[in-house]
A and B are shown apart, each in its own frame.
Chain A
Amino acid sequence: MNLGATLATARRVLTQLRHDRRTLALMIFVPIVLEGLLAWIYEGTPVFDRVGAALLGIFPFIVMFLVTSVATLRERTSGTLERLLTMPIAKLDLILGYALAFGLVAVVQSLVVAGCALWLFGLDVAGPAWLLIVVALLDALLGTALGLLLSAFAATEFQAVQFLPAVILPQFLLCGLLVPRDQLPGVLSAISDVLPLSHAVDAMSAVARSSEVTGEIESDLAVVAGFVLAAIALGAATLRRRTP
């Protein structure tokens, strides 16, 4: 472990994003527009309070998944990953650098999007705002960790982007947003229990419902954190210093 290399990697990733202003703008403003659109669609109904809160957890997850999988894939195909792995940097330093950079972006994104949702679009949330940000941050880290892992299975950017419908959409369909998870057919309900996004959305919905930090929120967050750690460990295992 080498803190210097981790911080340098985080700074490098953020600098790359800074040079790509359009991506940065899309990452922040698209969720705001979508959240606003949703508030408008469900104007005068209680649906927005339920769905709007859940989406605050889903946006950072999807956005960070996409950005990380493409960024890591580029790192693999451009030869920079091979170069880094001949240098004194631990695989974990590299991954933590990415997690740190995208985690920071996720905090900014969540602050802006949650702020707009709460004060502009009238989202009604019982729990404290800081907890919304914590859950959103953890969801973003989940997206980053899964993106990092899955980029190992993509050879091109086309393939990497296809992992969104392949890996993220099924989780989205089963996460309880469309049909509450306990009302799903038995098999699907069981499957949804072992998908990380279900717990991410459960946590966000729980924050929206209750004004205190409940055991339910804590256990959901623990499950999401477990998925993050597992994906990071598996992702590190896909980075090979020696290749055929």
Chain B
Amino acid sequence: MMKNGGAAIRVEGLRVVRGSRLVLDDVSLTVRRGSVTGLLGPSGSGKTTLMRAIVGVQIIAGGTVEVLGLPAGSSALRERVGYVTQAPSVYADLTVRENLTYFAAVLRAPRSDAARVIQDVALDDHADQLVGRLSGGQLARVSLAAALLGKPELLVLDEPTVGLDPVLRRDLWTMFHRLASEGVTLLVSSHVMDEARRCERLLLVREGRIMADDTPQNLLARTGSDDIETAFLRLIEEQGVPA
């Protein structure tokens, strides 16, 4: 299997309808293997829905989603794709270690993996605390740690750094890049625009459409802006999308 190069995610004409609302409208994109791609956009823009479609838990109305060369949601992908939802999805009535030991067993990862990922998210001091007694940021890290178990080739992370202090955020981003250099592909959503510069490529989403798919440098240069927030605004004005 190719470790670098080639597409980790290939989305073609994706349409998602929820109720009577068109949440994603003709979305196409490609994410290179071993890259860190940022998915940016205001809340309600369709970021989470796009991520769910890529993980294969979203019922889609049209288009194709291919992950690591297979249709999204294939059973063969379940050990190869790690997904962190926006709301931490771990057991509040178990300790950090018990949570991760359980998920490791389900993923058929070695038992020692729990200790490794606890270290990765800097929760060693809280490993034997009940998850329900942790702070919001610590809770989010437990949820993130569960996605790092085993050997995921693609990590889909929905706002993994919300509520974290700057030092920890920096450390996590360093880890994301380390993973990418080892060949892991990361798709990270955020509404914090300053995190965008840490990505190799950015996807700007607004109202169910991809507004831009470019490197941060190109986006800034193209729009003549100093920061991603301004670049985003200029793009909106340029494309004449009603605010």
Residues of A within 8 A of B (CB): 2, 4-5, 8-9, 11-12, 15-16, 19-20, 78-80, 82-89, 241-244
Contact = CB atoms under 8 A, between A and B. Distances in A.
B98 interface: yes
Contact of B58 (A16, A85, A87, A242): A242
Interface in B83-135: 83, 85, 87-94, 98, 102-103, 105-108, 130
A228 to B, nearest CB: 24
Contacts of A243: 57-59
A19 B128 CA distance: 12
Q: How would you classify the secondary structure of chain B's contact residues: helix, strand, loop or mixed?
A: loop
Contacts of B57: 82, 85-86, 241-243
B56 interface: yes
Interface residues of B, number: 31
B107 A87 contact: yes
Contact of A88 (B59, B75, B90, B146): B75
B105 A87 contact: no
Given A79-B89, A86-B83, A241 B56 contact: yes
Contacts of A89: 106
Contacts of A12: 91, 94, 98, 102
A152 to B, nearest CB: 17
A86 B18 contact: no
A83 B87 CA distance: 11
A86 B59 contact: no
Contacts of A16: 91, 93-94
A20 B85 CA distance: 26
A240 to B, nearest CB: 9
A16 B146 CA distance: 18
B92 A78 contact: yes
A79 B57 CA distance: 12
Contacts of B105: 4-5, 8
Contacts of B83: 83, 86
B130 A241 contact: no
Given A82-B85, A83-B146, A15 B59 contact: no
Given A8-B102, A86-B55, A244-B19, 18 more contacts: A2-B108, A9-B102, A12-B91, A12-B102, A16-B93, A78-B89, A79-B85, A79-B88, A80-B89, A80-B90, A83-B103, A85-B57, A86-B56, A86-B81, A87-B106, A88-B75, A88-B79, A241-B57
A16 B95 CA distance: 9
Contact of B106 (A84, A241, A242, A244): A84
In the complex, the 9 A-B pairs of residues with the closest C-beta atoms, listed nearest first? A79-B89, A8-B105, A88-B78, A12-B102, A83-B89, A16-B93, A89-B106, A80-B89, A87-B106
8 contacts: A4-B105, A9-B106, A86-B57, A87-B79, A88-B78, A241-B56, A242-B73, A243-B57
A241 B71 CA distance: 14
Best-buried of B56, B108, B146 by chain A (most CB within 10 Å): B108
Contacts of B59: 242-244
Contacts of A4: 105, 108
A203 B187 CA distance: 57
